[in-house]
A and B are shown apart, each in its own frame.
Chain A
Amino acid sequence: MAKNDPIPQPIKPSMSLAEKLTSLPKFYLYIILIFFSSAPLFINVTVPNKPLESSIDLYATLMSVKPGETVLVASDWTNSTRGESWGQFNSVMRILMRRGVNVVLYSTGDAQAPRVAQDSIAKLNKERLAKGEPEYKRWENFVSVGFFSSGEAATNGMATNVKATFAGRKDFAPGRGLTDVYESPILKGREKIENFPLLIVITGSKTSNITVERLSGKVPIAFTVTGVMGPETGNFYQSGQIVGFASGLKGLYDLEGLMENGVNVPGKDGQIVIKSEKYPKIDGFPGQPNAGQGSRYYPTLHFAVALLILAVIIGNVGMFLARKGAK
């Protein structure tokens, strides 16, 4: 498609309007983009929004896990997808923490993922302590199994026997230092994947596909994925291999909205904020710190995308003018 495109040259005064429009120098575009994606960060806007079905399914699934249960969380993101994944991770963890659900963290995506996840949990804990809520304790509430260099391998191993796959993995137990994760109370009697009520994959990489290939049908799987993974994940969602997912910033914004407003819960004005035929009333966490990356970045995104669309329009207008000129 790009075959016959001119490589944009700096504008020469002699150029006709059409030429100018079809060959804006890249660098100018870049400067404008930087402006458009920075300026709105300083102004506080809220955007009206309607959550996608998949996001509602994800929220409902998270809210359906019983307190005291232990869920698997595959945290496969690092700072390179911080923009989306960090917020998604925070929202998911906030829900689980508030509902007193225990978490087993493992990663197949990136060697840094476990550390990044733990840092985020530390931040969330600060927030909890500040609000006078109990700390979400390592070992008693969550253990970190660490990173598996071959995701395909580990996931496949988990399909047959989780305990065998996690064999030799250690985490910090208070007073005992590094201790075999399976000695943690939250992993008691959970040796097979079937013993876990839910597996949540928070990923910025392809590990999600592997998970579905190996584990679908053995345990309910939910995803939060980056926007780019959206379509593929939708594929699994549509064919019922996963129970729900949030994709990209939109999914995150949905999730934060759902946490604030719940599902089929009447808001202050008595109007139900988020309707769903699929579910009865699901409570939210009104008033609590639900707003995160989603609420901050989503409005800004609108400006950036607007710029993109504008650029495309300009290019096409220029092309048409050029054609006219040719005739």
Chain B
Amino acid sequence: MSYDAIKVTLGVLATVGLYSVLYKENRFYRFFEHLFLGLAAGWTLVVIWVENLKGPWWDLMVGVAPEKPTDPIGNGNWALILLLPLGLMGYMVFSKKHNWMSRIPIGIILGLWSGQQIQIWYNTYGKQIAGTAQPIWPTTWSSLTVPDYAKSGLTGDALANAKSQVYLSQAVSNFLFLITVVCVLSYFLFSFDAKTKLVRSASSMGRYLLMIGFGAIFGSTVLMRFTLLIDRMYFIWIEWLQQTILQR
């Protein structure tokens, strides 16, 4: 049995083992669950140096040897060593007396994250605010929906004009879009007494509109999940059974 055959077979075994939990929690599953956790932890210990520390930390700190003599000598930023004691402070969490020190590295990570939130907010949502503010009144009544420009036979200025128009259907869609955002957002107003009729009706409307959104998400997600299952089945039936075992 070739190496690849063994490899694929193991993969199939593992897959079946994990699937077996669908029937009930059993020793077979438990075995592969622990195998999974063990391998994952082991791999993390590899990645932690190879990917997270070697390049981003060690190499920058001690510098790098020039590949060829012509290269400039890579400098080392020795100050980066200070991150080590900083990280180690986290380990004080188990000390009864000094556990507060673990909050320092955590604090720094959180600080960086928090600062970034302020930095990215507008870059993320500014355009979306603008994108929501679309014209909600048609500029022309010549056609209710966007005409088929190809068929219309318009050219040059006339075509440009036609394309620049806002048609009723667009206006309506934009309006509905606007309403949805407004209602959903007002559903997330917590400090306003829901007794005020406007807020109440808007937010309850918002909840229904949310459900439309969630339904759509569910619909599109389902397909992806099934795809993955099909891919597994392809792996088991075609790649393993047909191509490896039966050698067809």
Contact surface of A with B, Cβ cutoff 8 Å: 26-27, 30, 33-34, 37-38, 41-42, 81-84, 111, 146-147, 149, 152, 156, 168-169, 176, 179-180, 183, 209, 212-214, 216, 226-228, 230-231, 235, 238-241, 247-250, 277, 293, 296-297, 300-301, 304-305, 308
Contact = CB atoms under 8 A, between A and B. Distances in A.
Interface stretch (B2-10, B88-96, B120-128): B120-128
B227 A84 contact: yes
A297 B220 contact: no
Interface string B70-108: 000010000000000000000000000000000000000
For the complex of A and B, the 9 pairs showing the least CB-CB separation, nearest first, are: A227-B224, A239-B131, A83-B231, A83-B227, A149-B52, A83-B228, A111-B47, A38-B233, A304-B226
Contact of A305 (B51, B67, B223): B223
Interface residues of B, number: 46
Contacts of B237: 38, 41-42
A82 B67 CA distance: 37
A297 B224 contact: no
A176 B166 CA distance: 60
B130 A168 contact: no
Given A214-B123, A235-B128, A301-B230, A227 B23 contact: no
A185 B221 CA distance: 41
A228 B234 contact: no
Interface in B31-66: 43, 47, 50-52, 55-56, 59-60, 64
A168 B228 contact: no
A227 B51 CA distance: 29
B208 interface: no
A247 B220 contact: yes
Given A41-B238, A213-B124, A238-B131, A304 B230 contact: yes
Nearest to A84: B227
A58 to B, nearest CB: 17
Given A84-B224, A231-B217, A308-B222, A41 B230 contact: yes
A293 B230 CA distance: 10
Contacts of B59: 168
B150 interface: yes
Contact of B227 (A147, A230, A249): A249
Interface in B7-23: 22-23
B229 A37 contact: yes
B72 to A, nearest CB: 11
25 contacts: A27-B23, A34-B233, A37-B229, A41-B234, A82-B228, A83-B230, A83-B231, A168-B59, A169-B55, A179-B67, A209-B124, A212-B124, A216-B123, A227-B225, A228-B220, A228-B225, A231-B220, A239-B131, A240-B131, A247-B220, A300-B233, A301-B223, A301-B227, A304-B226, A305-B226
Contacts of A27: 22-23
Nearest to B242: A42
Contact of A248 (B127, B217, B223, B236): B223
A84 B229 CA distance: 11
A250 B224 CA distance: 9
Contact of B130 (A81, A149, A239): A239
Given A227-B227, A239-B127, A241-B127, A296 B234 contact: yes
A301 B130 CA distance: 38
B227 A228 contact: no
